[in-house]
Amino acid sequence: MSRLLWIVGLVLLSGAAAAQTVNHWETVVYDSMQWRYWVGTSNPGATWNTVSFNDAAWPVGRGGVGYGDGDDRTVISPVLSVFLRKKFTLTNRDKILDALLHVDYDDGFIAYLNGVEIARAVMPTGTVAFNQPSAGLHEALLYQNQAPEGFLLKATQINSLLVAGENTLAVQVHNDNINSSDLSSRVFFSVGITDNSQTYLPTPAWFTGPFAFTSSNLPVMVITTQGQPIPDDPRIPAHLGIIDNGPGNRNTLTDPFTNYDGRINIETRGESSQMFPKKSYSIETQTETGANFNAALLGMPPENDWVLYAPYTDKTMLRDVLAFQLGQDLGHYAPRYRFVELVINDDYKGVYVLMEKIKRDKNRVDIAELQPQDLSGDEVTGGYVLRIDKIDGNDYPAWTATPTPMLPNEQDVRLQYFDPAGEELADAQRNYIRTHLQTFQSALTTANFTNHQTGYRKYLDVPSAVDFILVNELGKNVDAFLFSTYLYKAKDSDGGKLFMGPLWDFNLAFGNVDYLANAQFAPGWMYADQGRSIYWFRRMVQDPDFATSMTCRWVTLRSGFMTNAYFMNTIDSLAAVLQEAQVRNFQRWPILGTYVWPNQFIGQTYAQEIGFLKQWILERLVWMDNNMPGNCAVVTGTEPEAKVEVFPNPFQQSVRIRINSHLKINTMQVVDLMGREVIRQSVTAFELEWDGRDAAGTAVAPGMYLLRVLSSNGALLKQVKLIKTF
């Protein structure tokens, strides 16, 4: 749809409303009024939501109707659903321009006005029976001192449904499961009046009318769904227009669409985040016929799968992008992102982050694409993106690859096929990657797991694992090493090792959590928490070589770009981009100074939220500086059983190595600070020389290296830091 047609469409739909404005808002229906209700232990009747339905036999009670959390005036026994009806009379229909439905619900609902659906959330599509659970979890908000979720009626809905005289509002509310601790159903209906006459009731104290958004310094994304609610699944078709007039220029809602103007499909996304009124979305850019269409949205490389992330519980709106930026600066792929302001069906939704979805692509996870015919040989060995996360009911079944042996007191790791999805893989492909993960885990759990030739390093890209741990530990990400953990495997001909990453989901990191003590404060390691993290990372750090690689990488980064100033400047730069838009965001979602699960810190202002984030990171950096698990210092070897001396050190061209030990020395190895092997040679004498060249005979670059002396079983006996100068 062109921008011109979209504007004309709005004018035609609103009719005379274009010449009118709302003078003030009044509430016609309160939750505390008397409602007719039906407890959903049986079907209420096919026409229960219509105007003509006779509800005289239904019980009467004050809303909300439900149980748990102390937010119900009419308490019922635990049940999967409840059906509500409320008749109300309008005496000044000609003065009503806008209408807002607010529903405080747990866990999903569908609302009808005079028999026609006007809003739906966290519910399956189509007609829903009394015994149908909701499509997910959603927590009521009023008892937490937050405004309930609002649904703005379109002009077409108001004009065709709302009548002078008697109207009927009907709402069905469904629980996620019969054993849930709560069901909430508090409903409000308010109208926008065009003059100063007072006819109904004052609005609730938490009420805010539709936000009058006109322009932004950020790109503006406009989505229209032709009045359809956006479900969790399946996706629905919609139109997306993006206004981006370039750096330094305002983006006004009436400007032409300059970046994208076309079809998408869209659905809500997330697990625990679905409970928040500000929803995140998955979108797919499409041709007008519904085929995938790769689009370069806001300067990012062309693709068709995108995420519109809704920062809500993270009131800085920066934690995810801070982690992504750090991942990119470390030299890894992490999702690219752009801050935007979002409007859906004329309703301003606030600040969002448009980001790349993790998937295999030459500009994202750059591994060869796994084709359906790749069933054997090298072709079947790569092109897999895997995930460890909460299990969504819509996902292809998760699987385990139980190692032999299984470490004591540890649990199996449940993995998910991510890209390609499980249903897209052939049996041979699923079998291959399951077997490979079992082999990797067995190499990690065996007693000889530290051996560089036969242990876990044979299968794992150690540098990616080191950086994955360091970034997640820096943020003390409560989901780290348990959920939102991605890994991928290239074909054997392209190296074939498992890479950890990309990074994902840091909204509950950097101190933004109150339910796990270890995640709240600077001291402590997240990977060491046996009750919350998978064993892979604990086991890796038990390897002295890995612990040393981790420590040396940290020391190098901290003496390089990753200074305190780097973090402070990055946060300040990101916050400056949002300085204007965050004001509008928190007018739309007035949660500053209010607890939103699972906030540890509750700032009264945006500046206070930013200040807490910066201070938390500074304290965490100090703790990690002083508590890294390995040793990156020069080792002179004072123990009588193994003494290693190197000279000269630093060196320019060659260095002599003298080993004094009664143990059987088997191998000398030189690695760089990322754990990558430079050269390895057998030890046949206790004095030898390294000429500063790698296994291919090429002189290594100046810098710091680690000399390792290994026993016959591959155990590390001594490690020495070598410095090659220019």
Got the DSSP string for 363-428? TSB-SPPPPTT--SGGGGG--EEEEE----TTSPPPEE---SSPPTT----EEEEEETTGGGS-HH
Q: Count CA within 13 A, CB hemisphere, residue 307.
A: 19
Sheet holding 414-419, edge to edge: 399-400, 414-419, 384-388, 485-489, 498-500
Rg (CA), the chain: 30
pLDDT at residue 648, as a whole number: 87
* Mean pLDDT (the chain, rounded): 90
Please name the residue that has the structure tokens 């030739």: 453
The string of pLDDT tens digits covering residues 557-603 is 998 899 999 999 999 999 999 999 999 999 999 999 999 999 999 99
Calpha distance 327→325 (Å, rounded): 5
What proportion of the chain, given as a percentage, has pLDDT over 70?
93
What the block records as the tokens of 646 is 């190197």
Residue (of 101, 63, 115, 106) closest to 84 by Cα position: 63
What the block records as the tokens of 528 is 């060491």
Q: Going by C-beta distance under 8 Å and a sequence separation of 6 or more, which residues neighbour residue 167?
A: 51, 87, 88, 89, 90, 113, 114
pLDDT at residue 7, as a whole number: 33
Judge whether 510 and 613 are in contact, CB under 8 Å: yes
Domains of the chain with CATH codes: 21-193 (2.60.120.260), 215-313+338-356 (no CATH), 377-558 (no CATH), 564-627 (no CATH), 642-724 (2.60.40.3760)
Got the DSSP string for 91-151? S-GGGEEEEEEEEEEESEEEEEETTEEEEEES--SS---TTPPPSS-----GGGT-PPEEE
What single DSSP character describes residue 3? H
Sheet holding 665-671, edge to edge: 677-682, 665-671, 703-711, 716-724
pLDDT at residue 267, as a whole number: 94
Total Cβ atoms within 10 A of residue 502? 22
The string of pLDDT tens digits covering residues 679-689 is 888 876 667 78
Mean pLDDT by 10 residues, the chain (726 residues): 33 43 95 97 96 97 91 94 97 94 95 95 90 89 88 88 97 93 95 96 92 94 88 90 96 97 94 83 97 97 98 98 96 96 93 98 96 97 95 77 94 94 96 97 96 95 96 95 94 95 97 94 94 93 95 91 95 96 95 95 98 97 95 49 76 82 70 80 76 90 83 72 81
What the block records as the tokens of 144 is 């937490």
Q: How far apart are the first and last CA of the chain?
A: 62
* pTM recorded for the entire structure: 0.76
The string of pLDDT tens digits covering residues 56-77 is 999 999 999 999 878 899 999 9
Q: Is 20 helix (H, G, I), strand (E, B) or coil?
A: coil
